[in-house]
A = this chain, B = another copy of it.
Amino acid sequence: MSGTDHQAQDDWGGPQPVMVLVGPQMGENIGAAARGMLNFGLEHMRLVAPRDGWPNPAATATASGAARVLDKVGVFDTTAGAIGDMDYVYATTARPRDMTTRVVTPEQAMGEARALIADGKRVGVLFGAERAGLENADIALANAIVTVPVNPGFASLNLAQCVLLTAYEWRRQSEEGVIEAPEIPQASQIEVEKLYTHFEERLEVAGFFFPETKAASMKLHLRNMLSRMPLTPQDVQIFHGMLRQFVRWKTRG
Where the two chains meet, the residues of A that have a C-beta atom closer than 8 Å to any C-beta of B are 35-36, 38-41, 64-66, 95, 100, 102-105, 107-108, 147-151, 153-157, 161, 164-165, 168, 171-172, 174, 176-179, 181-182, 184-185, 203, 205-208, 218, 221-222, 225, 228-230, 232, 234-235, 238, 241-242, 245-246, 248-250, 253
Identify A206's interface contact among B103, B177, B245, CB under 8 A: B245
Q: How far is the CA of A109 from the CA of B239 in the complex (A)?
A: 30
Identify A178's interface contact among B39, B40, B105, CB under 8 A: B105
In the complex, the answer to whether A154 meets B66 with C-beta atoms within 8 Å is yes
Residue of B nearest to A151 (CB): B41
Identify A154's interface contact among B39, B100, B103, CB under 8 A: B39
**Given A151-B38, A222-B238: A168 touches B171 (CB 8 Å cut-off):** no
In the complex, the answer to whether B208 meets A245 with C-beta atoms within 8 Å is yes
Contacts of A250 in B (CB 8 A): 246, 249-250
Q: How far is the CA of A164 from the CA of B165 in the complex (A)?
A: 9
In the complex, the answer to whether B100 meets A151 with C-beta atoms within 8 Å is no
In the complex, the answer to whether A39 meets B151 with C-beta atoms within 8 Å is yes
Contacts of A107 in B (CB 8 A): 172
In the complex, the answer to whether A151 meets B171 with C-beta atoms within 8 Å is yes
Contacts of A164 in B (CB 8 A): 161, 164-165
Q: How far is the CA of A242 from the CA of B207 in the complex (A)?
A: 10
Contacts of A249 in B (CB 8 A): 205-207, 246, 250
- 11 A-B pairs (CB sep. < 8 Å): A41-B151, A64-B156, A102-B182, A102-B184, A105-B178, A149-B174, A151-B176, A161-B161, A168-B168, A206-B248, A218-B238
